[in-house]
C-alpha cells in the first residue's frame, strides 16, 4: 500500500505557482508594475478548527509568495453587515477571497456565498462557478475537489473509465467531486456512483466493493471499513475528525483499509494540504484572469 502524500504534492504545487508568478512579474515587457496575487480570508468568531485551517492557508500563501490578509469579525455580526463587507471586498484590490465556514448559526451561509463576486470566489462555492463547473466550462473549481484530482493526477492514478464511488454529498466536497469526475477533467471521465450516509448500508457496500476508487467525505471516524472495499482499491479519505483523545483521524478505519487498499490518503497530510493547493491554484488563476 502506498500513501498518497498530499503534503509533498501540495508543496510542489506551491513552489511551481511561486515560480510561475515570479516569471510573470519578472517579464519586463509587461511595461507596468504588476503586484503579486493577494487573497483575503474572512473569519467570523472564534472556531478552533477554522483558526487552524486558516493558519494552514496563510502558511501556504507565504510559501507561494501570495499576499494575504485575515479579516476578522465578531461572532455577533449580522448577515446584513457581513454582506456589506463582502460587497467591499468584491471591489477591493484582492484577487480573491474566502469566507471561512462554518459561520455562526444566525447567518445562513448561502446568503453570504451568493454575494461573493464569482471572479474572486477562490473557494469555487458561488453558484455561477458551481454551475459552470457542472457544465464542464472553465470556472473557479471547488478547491477540495480540484486538489483531489491534482493528487490522483500526480500519482498517475487513472480516472478515465474507472468506477468511482463517492460517499458524501456535501456542496463543498461530495457533490463537486462526483460531477468533476463524471466530466472530462483533463484525464477523462469516470463512472461515478454517488452515495451518502443515508444510503442503505448493504447497497453502499455492494457498490463500494466494486469501486476502483472510493472517496469518503462523511465526517464519521471509522465509517469506511476494509470489508467495504475491493483488494487493490484507491481510497481518498476527506474526513478530518478530532477524537476525544485529541488525535486527528479521517473517515476510514485506517488500520483495516491500509491492509487492503493499494493507495490511501493519510489524515492528516492527505487531502487537507491538497485543498489548500486548490485554493492557491484558484488564487493564481484569478490573478492571471485579472492581469494577464
Q: Which residues here bind ligand GUN, judged by CB under 6 A?
A: 98-101, 123, 143-144, 172, 275
> Element (H or E) spanning 21, and its range?
helix 6-26
The minimum distance between CB 64 and ligand GUN, in angstroms, equals 17
Do the beta carbons of residue 189 and residue 161 sit within 8 Å? Answer: yes
Q: Where are the beta strands (DSSP E) in 108-212?
A: 163-167, 191-195
CA-CA distance, 261 to 287, in Å (whole number)? 39
Q: Choose, from 95, 100, 150, 162, the residue flagged as catalytic.
A: 100
The minimum distance between CB 117 and ligand GUN, in angstroms, equals 15
Q: Is 92 annotated as a binding residue?
A: no
Closest to ligand GUN by CB, 100 vs 283, is 100
Produce one character per residue of 94-128: b if its CB has 16 or more CB atoms within 10 Å, e if not.
bbbbbbbeebeeebeeeebbebbbbbbbbbbbbee
Asked about 57 being catalytic, the answer comes back as yes
Residue 24, class by beta-carbon neighbours within 10 Å (0-12 exposed, 13-18 middle, 19+ buried)? middle
Q: Is 197 annotated as a binding residue?
A: yes
The neighbour count for residue 253, using CB atoms within 10 Å, is 17
The minimum distance between CB 245 and ligand GUN, in angstroms, equals 22
The residue among 64, 126, 118 whose CA lies nearest residue 96 is 118
Asked about 5 being catalytic, the answer comes back as no
Closest to ligand GUN by CB, 42 vs 204, is 42
Q: Is 189 annotated as a binding residue?
A: no
Closest to ligand GUN by CB, 123 vs 251, is 123
Q: Is 168 annotated as a binding residue?
A: yes
**SS3 at position 42:** strand
Q: Is 240 annotated as a binding residue?
A: yes
Q: Choose, from 95, 120, 121, 123, the residue flagged as catalytic.
A: 123
CA-CA distance, 182 to 173, in Å (whole number)? 14
The minimum distance between CB 259 and ligand GUN, in angstroms, equals 30
CA-CA distance, 235 to 211, in Å (whole number)? 10
The residue among 12, 56, 41, 13 whose CA lies nearest residue 272 is 56
Q: Choose, from 57, 120, 150, 260, the residue flagged as catalytic.
A: 57
Closest to ligand GUN by CB, 228 vs 281, is 281
Closest to ligand GUN by CB, 94 vs 199, is 94
The minimum distance between CB 27 and ligand GUN, in angstroms, equals 32
Residue nearest to ligand GUN (CB): 101
Question: Residues annotated as binding site?
Answer: 168-170, 197, 240
Binding-site sequence positions for NADP(+)? 168-170, 197, 240
Which residue numbers are catalytic? 57, 100, 123
Amino acid at each position: 500500500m502506498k500513501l498518497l502524500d498530499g503534503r509533498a504534492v501540495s508543496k510542489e504545487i506551491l513552489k511551481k505557482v511561486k515560480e510561475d508568478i515570479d516569471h510573470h512579474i519578472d517579464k519586463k515587457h509587461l511595461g507596468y508594475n504588476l503586484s503579486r496575487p493577494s487573497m483575503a480570508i474572512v473569519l467570523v468568531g472564534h472556531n478552533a478548527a477554522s483558526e487552524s485551517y486558516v493558519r494552514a492557508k496563510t502558511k501556504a500563501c507565504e510559501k507561494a509568495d501570495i499576499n494575504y490578509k485575515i479579516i476578522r469579525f465578531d461572532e455577533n455580526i449580522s448577515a446584513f453587515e457581513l454582506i456589506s463587507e463582502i460587497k467591499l471586498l468584491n471591489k477591493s484590490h484582492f484577487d480573491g477571497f474566502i469566507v471561512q465556514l462554518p459561520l455562526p448559526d444566525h447567518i445562513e451561509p448561502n446568503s453570504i456565498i451568493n454575494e461573493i463576486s464569482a471572479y474572486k470566489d477562490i473557494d469555487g462555492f458561488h453558484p455561477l462557478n458551481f454551475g459552470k463547473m457542472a457544465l464542464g466550462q472553465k470556472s473557479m473549481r471547488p478547491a477540495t475537489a480540484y486538489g483531489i484530482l491534482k493528487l490522483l493526477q500526480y500519482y498517475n492514478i487513472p480516472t478515465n473509465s474507472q468506477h468511482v464511488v463517492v460517499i458524501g454529498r456535501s456542496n463543498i466536497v461530495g457533490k463537486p467531486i462526483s460531477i468533476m469526475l463524471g466530466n472530462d477533467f483533463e484525464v477523462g471521465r469516470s463512472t461515478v456512483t454517488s452515495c451518502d450516509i443515508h444510503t442503505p448500508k448493504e447497497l453502499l457496500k455492494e457498490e463500494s466493493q466494486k469501486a476502483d476508487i472510493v472517496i469518503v467525505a462523511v465526517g464519521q471516524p471509522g465509517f469506511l471499513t476494509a470489508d467495504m472495499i475491493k483488494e487493490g482499491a484507491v481510497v481518498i479519505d476527506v474526513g478530518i475528525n478530532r477524537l476525544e483523545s485529541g488525535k486527528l483521524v479521517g473517515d476510514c478505519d485506517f488500520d483495516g483499509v491500509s491492509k487492503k487498499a493499494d493507495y490511501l490518503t493519510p489524515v492528516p497530510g492527505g487531502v487537507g494540504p491538497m485543498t489548500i493547493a486548490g485554493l492557491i491554484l484558484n488564487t493564481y488563476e484569478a490573478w492571471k484572469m485579472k492581469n494577464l
